[in-house]
Structure 1
Amino acid sequence: MSKTNPGNFFEDFTVGQVIEHATPRTITEGDRALYGALYPTRFAVPSSAAFAAASGLAVHPVEELIGFHVAFGKTVPDISLNAVANLGYAECRFHRPVVPGDTLRTSSEVIGLKQNSNGKSGVVYVRSTATNQRGEVAIDWCRWVMVHKRDPEAPAPDAVLPELAKVVAADDLVLPEGLDFSAYDFGAAGEPHRYDDYAVGEKIDHVDGVTFTDAEHMLATRLWQNTAKVHFNTEARPDGNRLIYGGHVISMARALSFNGLANAQLIAAINGGSHVAPAFAGDTVYAWSEVLDKAETPAPGVGALRLRLVATKGRDESMTLRNAEGKYADGVLLDLDYWALVPR
C-alpha cells in the first residue's frame, strides 16, 4: 500500500469538514531578507526596526503578506494540491502583526462546494485560520479554488455557495496594539502623502514594472512551502507552462505600489481578490491603484484607506479595469481590494 499522499480531489471534500494542516512554520529574519530579495518592497515599518518602534510597535513585524503566504502554504497539500487555479479571496483580516519567532499553524473548514458544468472539476470554498504559538489568531480568510475531480463520473454534491461579505467593515479592522503615527517620519518613509491627500475615486499609476522569471517565482513559492504541482511541474498543465502562484503576483503588485502609496504601511484586511488571468515567466507586470473608501481609526494619527490594487500584464496608462461589456480588460492579472493603515 502506497504511503505517498496524492492530495484531495473535489469529491473528497464535504461541507463542514475541518482539516488541521501539517507542518507549523516559524518565521525568521531570513524570511524578511528573502522577501526583500524577491520583491522591490521598501515600506518603512517592516524595513526598519527603529521606524517600527517609533510607530509604537513593541517588536519589529515582517510584512503582512509573509504571514499570509506562510499560512496559505500550509493549506495547499490538503486543499489545492490538485488545483486548476486559485480563484479568489474574501473576509481576510490580519489580527496581529507577525514577528520573527512566531510559529504559524493553519486549519481550514470547508464552507461551500459547487461542481463545474464540465463534470471534470469543481470549486471548493474554505475558511482558514492561522494561529501563533500562543494559540492567538494571527490571520483568517476565505478563499475558493477550482480542484480537479479524481473520477469525472463521481456524482456531484449538492451545491452550497457561502455568503461572503464584499468588504470588511472599517469598524471590524483590528489595529496593532500600540500603533501610533502621531510622530510619523515622512522623510524616512519616502513620501509626504498622508490620509487627507488621498480622495475617493483617485487612481494612482505606480509606473514601475518587473518581468517575472521561473526561478524567482518557484523560489518564492517554495519559501512558503506551497507544493501545488502547477507552479513547478511543466507536465501538470496541458500548455507545459509553470503557473505563477497568485500570491507572488499579489506581493509583486503590493511592492510596486510603494511608488505613490509609500505611506500605506500596514495591510489591515483583504476584502476580496480575484486572479483574473494566469501569469507566466516572461510576463512583465505593472500595477495601479484606486482609492475606494476612507475611514478614521481610534489609533493616534492613523487612518485607513480602502484600495483597489490592480496588476496588469504590460502597462495600462489608461488604468482600465473593465471593458465596455463589463468584463475585465485585456491584460488584467489581479484585482485586489484591501484596507491599508496610513498616517493622518
Structure 2
Amino acid sequence: MKTNLGRFFEDYTLGQTIHHAVPRTLAEGERALYHALYPARHALYSSDDFATHCGLEGSPLDDLIAFHTVFGKTVPDISLNAVANLGYADGRWLAPVYPGDTLRSQSTVIGLKQNSNGQSGVVYVRTTGINQRDEAVLDYVRWVMVRKLRDTPAPETHIPDLPDVVTPNRLVIPEGLDFTQYDFTLAGEPHRWSDYTINEQIDHIDGVTISEAEHMLATRLWQNTAKVHFDATNRDDGRRLIYGGHIISLARALSFNGLANAQMIVALNAGAHANPCFAGDTVRAWSQVLDRADTDAPGVGAIRLRLVAVKHGAKPFALRADDGKYDPSVLLDLDYWALIPK
C-alpha cells in the first residue's frame, strides 16, 4: 500500500521526532494572498520603506504567514486524523521571514494522554520552523486530539509542564529593530506603548463574514490537509470545520482598529479554539491588555494582549459563561506578545 492514512494516536511515542515534508519557498505572492484573504494593514508588513525606517532590511512577511506555513507542514503527520486542535503554548518567533526564504518543519512528541473513551487521545508536540540557513525562525507547542484506529493499550500518560507565559526576557527582538523614528501617521494610529493600561479592553468594532471559498483557499495556501477542513463527509453534520489559523489571522487583522501599532508578534503564550466555526459565521474581535514590558531595542516596548474572536451577536467582551466554560459565542482565545513603539 503506497497511500498514507496518516498517523493515529497509537502511532506516537514519547520523544519521537518527526521531520515533515515538503519545504516551501515563500515569495511576495504569499503576502498578496494573505492580504487578500484578511484585512491585514499593519505598516511594517505592508511597506519596505516603512520597515527600513524601523531598522529592518525590508518588509518581512507577516508573522502569521510564517506560523501558518510551519503549521501546515505538520498537518499530514500530526493532525491529519485530528478531532480538534486544542491549544498552543510557549511559542516564540525567533527571526523575521522574508520573501525568498525556504521553511521546513520538525516536531517532537513531548506528551501523550489517552482519552477515557479509548477511541482517541491527546498528542503534545513541540514544532520548530527552520529556514534555508538552518536557523530556527519559530518554535511552539501545540496539542491535538487524534483518533485511534486500533484497539491498543493506552500509553503511559505524560502531560508536559508548560509555562503560563513567555517571560519578557525570553522575547527575541529582531536585530536592528528601532522605533525611535517611527511614523505614527503612516502607521495609521497615534497610540503608543504608554497609552495602553493593563486590563484595558478594546472593541475592534469591525466584522468579517466567512465564506467557504476563502476558507478553502486558505487551507490550500497553507497546505493544511486535515480532513475536517476539506471533506464534508468527515463530520456527522456534513459541514467543513473552518481552519483555526484562519480565525487567528482574521482576528489579528481586525485588531488593527485600536492596535495598529502592535506591529510584530514575538510570542504565543497560550491559545485555545474554544468553539467551532463554519462558513456563514461573522467573526468579530476584542482585545484585553494583560501586561507591558520594556525591551533593550531603541524605542521598542512589548505589550501582552489577549485576543478574543467571537461570533456576531456575542455579548460585549464575552469570554466565559457562569459555569466557567467558554461562552458559546467565543471562537478563539489567544494570548500573545507584540512589539509596539514607546
| TM-score band w.r.t. shorter chain | over 0.9
Aligned letter for 2:2?
K
Instruction: Name 1:101's counterpart in structure 2.
Output: 100
The yes-or-no answer on 1:79 pairing with 2:78 is yes
Specify the alignment match of 1:323 in structure 2: 321
Distance in 2 separating the partners of 1:64 and 1:76: 19
Native 8 Å contact 2:308 2:331 kept in 1: yes
The root-mean-square deviation of aligned C-alpha atoms, in Å, is: 0.8
Q: Report the counterpart of residue 48 of structure 1 in structure 2.
A: 47
Query: Structure 2 CA distance, aligned partners of 1:218 and 1:256?
Result: 20
Alignment of 1:178-257 (within 5 A): 178-257=176-255
The 10-residue stretch of structure 1 (89-98 or 324-333) with the greater mean CA deviation from structure 2:
324-333
Query: Residue type of the partner of 1:111?
Result: I
Say if 2:105 and 2:129, in contact at 8 Å, map to a contact too.
yes
Distance in 2, matches of 1:243 and 1:237, equals 9
Could you tell me how far apart the structure 2 residues matched to 1:218 and 1:206 are?
Answer: 26
* Conserved? CA contact 1:200–1:292, under 8 Å: yes
Q: State the secondary structure of the residue aligned to 1:260.
A: helix
CA positional deviation for 1:255:
0.2
Question: 2: distance between equivalents of 1:7 and 1:100?
Answer: 31
Q: 1:284 aligns with which of 259, 282, 285?
A: 282
Partner Cα separation in structure 2 for residue 77 and residue 192 of structure 1: 43
Count of aligned pairs between the two proteins = 342
- Taking the aligned partners of 1:59 and 1:137, their CA distance within structure 2 comes to 20
On the 8 A contact 2:179/2:299 being kept in 1, the answer is yes
Q: TM-score, normalised by structure 1?
A: 0.98
Deviation digits for residues 22-42 of structure 1, max 9, x if unmatched?
Answer: 100011000000000000010
> Paired residue for 1:273?
271
- How far has the Cα of 1:209 moved from its partner? 0.5
User: Map of 1:150-161 to 2, 5 A cutoff?
Assistant: 150-151=149-150, 153-161=151-159
Moved more, 312-321 or 125-134: 312-321
Check whether the contact 1:95–1:138 (CA below 8 A) recurs between aligned residues.
yes
What per-residue deviation string (whole Å, max 9, x for no partner) do you get for residues 207-246 of structure 1? 0000111110110111011111110110111111101110
Instruction: Give 4+ residue runs of structure 1 displaced > 3 Å after superposition.
Output: none
Aligned to 1:21: 20
Q: CA deviation at 1:318?
A: 2.1
Letter in 2 for 1:230: V
Distance 1:158 1:95 in 2: 33
CA distance in 2, matches of 1:329, 1:8: 32
What do residues 281-310 of structure 1 show as CA deviations (whole Å, max 9, x unaligned)? 011000000000000000010000000000
Pair 1:9-2:5 in alignment: no
SS at match of 2:129: strand
CA contact (8 A) 1:285 1:315 kept: no
Q: Which residue of 2 aligns with 1:336?
A: 334
Following TM superposition, by how much is the alpha carbon of 1:314 offset from its aligned partner in structure 2, in angstroms? 1.1
Measure how far apart 1:323 and its partner are.
2.1
- Distance in 2 (alpha carbons) for counterparts of 1:16 and 1:127: 10
Q: Tell me which amino acid in the other structure corresponds to 2:75.
A: V
Q: Distance in 2 between matches of 1:51 and 1:126?
A: 36
Identical residues among aligned pairs (%): 65
Q: Secondary structure at the match of 1:231?
A: helix
Q: Aligned with 1:269: secondary structure?
A: strand
Where does structure 2 lack aligned partners over 5 or more consecutive residues? none
**Alignment partners' CA distance in 1, 2:219 and 2:5:** 19
Displacement after TM superposition at 1:315 (Å): 4.4
1:239 partner amino acid: D
Q: 1:186 to 1:317 in 2, by over 3 A?
A: farther
Q: Take 2:157 and 2:237, find their aligned partners in 1: how far apart are those partners?
A: 30
Contact conserved, 1:205 with 1:317, CA < 8 A, in 2?
A: no
Could you tell me which amino acid in structure 1 is paired with residue 207 of structure 2? G
Distance 1:308 1:134 in 2: 33
Tell me, which stretches of 5 or more residues in structure 1 are unaligned? none
